[in-house]
């Protein structure tokens, strides 16, 4: 993920190995303005293996679920299941969504994470930044987040004061 960005990091103990959840996430992305719509996706950054198609997100959902690998890992007595997906827009990764999840053998999900970042140039456009904030709120609600944080990384990895905790999560 780029270092000159504003990012949402959220954590959830929801079960991310659910097709409906992956589809709901992608439906939310598909409703966004073009600036937030991914162009490519992959397991690793930079995303370049798959072209994102908002009319057919089956490949992206399948990559999220990691079903083929998880079938093999369960038969090989691995400790559990996992998955990850990176979706990106722009040559300089102007918009990045990174999702990772893990699940123990006993089917209890571990703490899963989502990072959603936008390049800091989006801060210069109030409408873009407002849309970013609204999208963050939608993702926080979709994933039943136990913790969510918006932070500004425009000075490298040293975050400056733009911490926003979603009000419902700070109680």
60 vs 152, residue with greater confidence: 60
Q: Which two tokens stand for residue 66?
A: 């990691």
Average pLDDT, rounded, for the chain: 82
Tell me the per-residue pLDDT of 84-118, one tens digit each, with 9 for 90 and over. Answer: 899 999 887 899 999 998 877 666 657 889 999 99
Q: What is the pTM of this model?
A: 0.81
What are the structural domain ranges in the chain? 5-169
Tell me the per-residue pLDDT of 21-67, one tens digit each, with 9 for 90 and over. Answer: 999 999 999 999 999 999 999 988 888 889 999 999 999 999 999 87
* DSSP line for 54-117: TT--HHHHHHHHTHHHHHHHHHTT-SEEEEEEEEEETTTTSEEEEEEEEEETTS-B--EEEEEE
Most confident of 104-113, 142-151, 162-171: 142-151
């Amino acid at each position: 993920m780029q270092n000159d960005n504003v990012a949402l990091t959220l954590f959830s103990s929801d079960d991310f190995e659910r097709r409906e959840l992956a589809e709901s996430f992608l439906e939310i992305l598909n409703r966004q303005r073009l600036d937030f719509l991914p162009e490519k996706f992959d397991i690793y950054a930079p995303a370049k293996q798959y072209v994102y198609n908002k009319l057919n997100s089956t490949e992206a959902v399948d990559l999220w679920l990691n079903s083929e690998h998880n079938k093999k890992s369960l038969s090989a007595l691995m400790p559990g299941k996992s998955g990850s997906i990176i979706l990106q827009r722009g040559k300089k990764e102007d918009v990045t969504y990174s999702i990772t999840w893990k699940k123990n053998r006993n089917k209890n999900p571990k703490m899963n994470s989502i990072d959603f970042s936008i390049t800091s140039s989006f801060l210069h456009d109030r409408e873009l930044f407002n849309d970013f904030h609204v999208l963050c709120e939608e993702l926080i609600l979709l994933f039943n987040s136990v913790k969510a944080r918006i932070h500004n990384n425009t000075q490298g990895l040293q975050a400056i004061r733009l911490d926003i905790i979603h009000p419902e999560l700070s109680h």
